[in-house]
Amino acid sequence: MTALERLEKRLAELQIIAKKSLGQNFLVSDGVINKILDAVADESPQKVLEIGPGCGALTDLLAEKYKDLTLIELDRHLAEFWRQQNLNVIEGDALRMDWSFGSSYLLVSNLPYQISSSLVIERSMDDSQLQAMVLMFQKEVAQRIRAMPQTEHYGMLSVIAQEFWQISTVCDAGSREFKPAPKVSSRVLKFLPRTSEIQNKAEYLAFVKACFQQRRRVLSTNLAALNQQYDKSKFKDWLEQNKKSDKVRAEELSVKEIANLYHFLKMK
């Protein structure tokens, strides 16, 4: 049975339609589904966690392969349906739950577009990171996550994601590969934990946010807002040592350079 046939059968069974308020666009491309499943299988996970199983484009096939599968579903009707399939379901908002349990899990999801950036940032902040993540994003968000310095998409999201994860592209998905078809294209990314020298992640996030606070302003202006944890008087020394202009902007610095600046300015 194809993914589209499975969806049509499930929609009729549940007597539901996709809810725009929950960002529901159901994946119906067997090709994309198989690439996602292959990316998951490559990590040989013992425990799999899926956000937003919806009508089961991924869930049905994940359940066949992985005995320890947990679902996070916001829609009450769908959450109850998956419980009836004898699956472990956490009913609620993925952005408002305690993720302390998640370190041994591989996370997979066709993410609702409205939570995707926030979810990447929050999972980057976890003390103990997930085994891996295979996530689908709106293509523009995926471009921001993997963007390089001095490009239009590079920013705070790029820096945080790349500091804490090794990221690769799994595949693209056009609007026709969903039902209903969204107005944007999508891209699947794979995240593997990356060793970082950052000890206080929340503090570092605040530092990076400050760097990009006003994107078009020079970095020295944005850094002026930093608190007394940082010795801003050392910024000129850092510029000289790294051969940077005093007009440099945050978007011109690499992920490594921003981390280096953080450590350089932070008071011991």
38 is in an annotated binding site: no
Is 27 labelled as part of a ligand binding site?
Answer: yes
CA dist., res. 144 & res. 150, Å (int): 12
Tell me the three-class secondary structure of the chain, residue by residue.
Answer: CCHHHHHHHHHHHHCCCCCHHHCCCEECCHHHHHHHHHHHHCCCCCEEEEECCCCCCCHHHHHHHCCEEEEEECCHHHHHHHHHCCCEEEECCCCCCCCCCHHHEEEEEECCHHHHHHHHHHHHHCCCCCCEEEEEEEHHHHHHHHCCCCCCCCCHHHHHHHHHEEEEEEEEECHHHEECCCCCCEEEEEEEECCCCCCCHHHHHHHHHHHCCCCCCCHHHHHCCCCCCECHHHHHHHHHHCCCCCCCCHHHCCHHHHHHHHHHHECC
Rg of the chain over CA atoms, in angstroms?
21
Distance from first CA to last CA of the chain, Å, rounded? 61
Please give the annotated binding residues for S-adenosyl-L-methionine, written as ranges.
Answer: 25, 27, 52, 73, 93, 110
Positions at the binding site: 25, 27, 52, 73, 93, 110
